[in-house]
């Protein structure tokens, strides 16, 4: 009977503790402010999608494709695009290719070049529990970057707030400036004009508005 | 000679029954408490650690608002101001991110938002912050349901010359400003 009473008493204590904890738990949220990225710094994008964190090296993919191509004109665009795509640029989770499109009127034809990101089989996605481990791909990636020349941008979907918080905490503790945007602004395959765009300035991959911390 | 007889029968003992009763009552209490916890919900109350941003020597005070895609909730008063954006076309939403002042779609969006918040507490708040933009800025606590239209709201606030920050929060969190 003593044993039974103790068990019942313990269960009651656990229940009362759970109720009290659930009603009074607090989460500290910092207050960010949108600012321009550090001068002459490169952006590193990470995707927080479906509860997983993956690298999305949009700027790196663009740099690797465009490197050494020279000036792209209307006439040489097809051949240069083909040459760039032969490099088969992949960052582990996305492949990057160039594409060209004609635009304009019958009298004046122009050719724009776009960067296209396509998801590939990715085993580098990490959940919240993976980020705390020393073997975390995310931490290893950050360790390879120069915090003075790189800032981190996160794209976050509705299911990935927890993994974003965890990744951002690591990013800030590592000394990087960072920001985030909702992922709803892009869908895959993601295509964005980078050269010769019709009436627009070259803009970032719909993201990376700026640093917030 | 008389002998005492030892009865083979066990005396009646109710203690095992009490054990069973105690165990049953304990289980009932456990189940009822568990159900109560689920009914009440385990929604966390979120305390917002208000950190003033620094710009030069000026320290700006953040003014918190919530955005869930349909309503702006102004803190700490928790005033709710409806702001529907569901009728914005995909072309209008695609104009997000454009910084050109002459952009037609952005101007149309801005006009629509302005007309919807006219004469509301939100419009009054924006006017107050515009007058004190060196001292105050807005932080948008955005719920997942507001992700699709966050940048529309953000760009609208930026056109007012107001500094903006935004932070994602869980759909079920209850915000308490501290």
DSSP for chain B reads ---PPPP-SPPP--HHHHHHHHHHHHHHHHHHHHHHHHHH--PPEEEEE---EEETTEEEEEEEEEE-SSEEEETTTTEEEE---TT--HHHHHTTT---TT-HHHHHHHHHHHHHHTTSHHHHHHHHHHHTTTTEEEEEEE-GGGHHHHHHHHHHHHHTT--EEEEE--TT-EEEE-
> Which DSSP string do the residues of A91-110 spell out, in sequence order?
-SSEEEEEEEEEEE-SS-EE
Write the CA distances from A134 to A12, A131, A137, A162, B165, integer angstroms: 39, 8, 9, 19, 31
For residue A182, list chain B residues with Cβ-Cβ distance below 8 A.
142, 147-148, 150-151, 168
pLDDT over 80 at B105, yes or no: no
Mean of the per-residue pLDDT values of chain B: 77
Q: What is the ipTM of this complex?
A: 0.71
pLDDT value, residue A168: 93
Q: Give A34's contacts in chain B (Cβ within 8 Å).
A: 154, 163-166
- Inter-residue contact B168 to A34 (CB < 8 Å): no
CB pair distance less than 8 Å for A182 and B147? yes
Pairwise CB contact (< 8 Å): B40 & A22: yes
Could you say which of A5, A26, A158 has the minimum Cβ distance to residue B147? Answer: A158
B 24-63 residues inside an 8 A Cβ radius of A: 25-26, 29-30, 33-34, 36-37, 40, 42, 44-51, 53, 60, 62
Q: How far is Cα A138 from Cα A129, in angstroms, rounded to an integer?
A: 12
| Distances from the Cα of A106 to the Cα of A103, A136, B141, angstroms | 9, 54, 49
* Series of mean pLDDT values for 10-residue runs along chain A (213 residues): 70 69 57 74 88 89 90 88 93 90 82 90 81 86 89 91 93 90 81 80 46 63
Nearest CA in chain B to A182: B147
Of A29, A164, A200, the CB nearest to B49: A29
The pLDDT tens digits for A147-203 are 888 899 999 999 999 999 999 999 989 989 899 988 876 778 888 888 888 765 443
Q: Which residues contact A106 (CB under 8 A, 6 or more apart)?
A: none
């Amino acid at each position: 009977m003593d044993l039974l009473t103790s068990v019942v008493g313990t269960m009651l204590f656990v229940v009362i503790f759970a109720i009290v904890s659930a009603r009074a738990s607090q989460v500290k949220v910092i207050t960010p402010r949108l600012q321009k990225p550090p001068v002459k710094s490169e952006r590193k994008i990470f995707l927080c999608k479906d509860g997983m964190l993956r690298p999305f090296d949009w700027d790196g993919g663009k740099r690797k494709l465009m490197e050494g191509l020279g000036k792209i004109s209307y006439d040489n665009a097809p051949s240069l695009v083909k040459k760039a795509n032969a490099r088969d640029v992949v960052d582990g989770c996305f492949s990057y290719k160039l594409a060209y499109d004609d635009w304009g009127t019958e009298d004046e034809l122009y050719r724009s070049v776009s960067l296209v990101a396509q998801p590939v089989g990715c085993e580098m996605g990490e959940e919240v529990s993976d980020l705390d481990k020393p073997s975390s791909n995310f931490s290893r990636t950050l360790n390879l970057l120069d915090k003075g020349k790189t800032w981190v941008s996160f794209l976050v979907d509705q299911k990935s707030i927890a993994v974003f918080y965890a990744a951002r905490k690591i990013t800030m503790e590592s000394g990087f400036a960072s920001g985030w945007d909702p992922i709803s602004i892009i869908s895959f395959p993601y295509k964005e004009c980078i050269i010769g765009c019709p009436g627009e300035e070259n803009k970032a991959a719909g993201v990376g508005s700026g640093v917030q911390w | 000679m008389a002998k005492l007889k030892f009865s083979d029968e066990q005396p009646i003992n109710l203690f095992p029954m009490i054990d069973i009763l105690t165990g049953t009552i304990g289980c009932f209490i456990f189940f009822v408490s568990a159900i109560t916890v689920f009914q009440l919900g385990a929604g966390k109350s979120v305390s917002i650690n208000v950190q003033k941003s620094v710009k030069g020597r000026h320290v700006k005070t953040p003014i918190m608002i919530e955005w869930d895609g349909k309503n702006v909730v102004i803190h700490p008063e928790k005033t709710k101001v409806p702001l529907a954006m569901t009728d914005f076309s995909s072309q209008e939403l695609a104009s997000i991110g454009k910084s050109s002042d002459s952009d037609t779609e952005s101007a149309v969006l801005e006009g629509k938002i302005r007309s919807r918040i006219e004469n509301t507490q939100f419009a009054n708040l924006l006017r107050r912050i515009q007058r004190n933009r060196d001292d105050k800025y807005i932080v948008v606590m955005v719920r997942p349901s507001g992700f699709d239209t966050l940048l529309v709201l953000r760009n609208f606030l930026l056109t007012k010359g107001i500094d903006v920050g935004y932070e994602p929060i869980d759909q079920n969190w209850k915000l308490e400003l501290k």
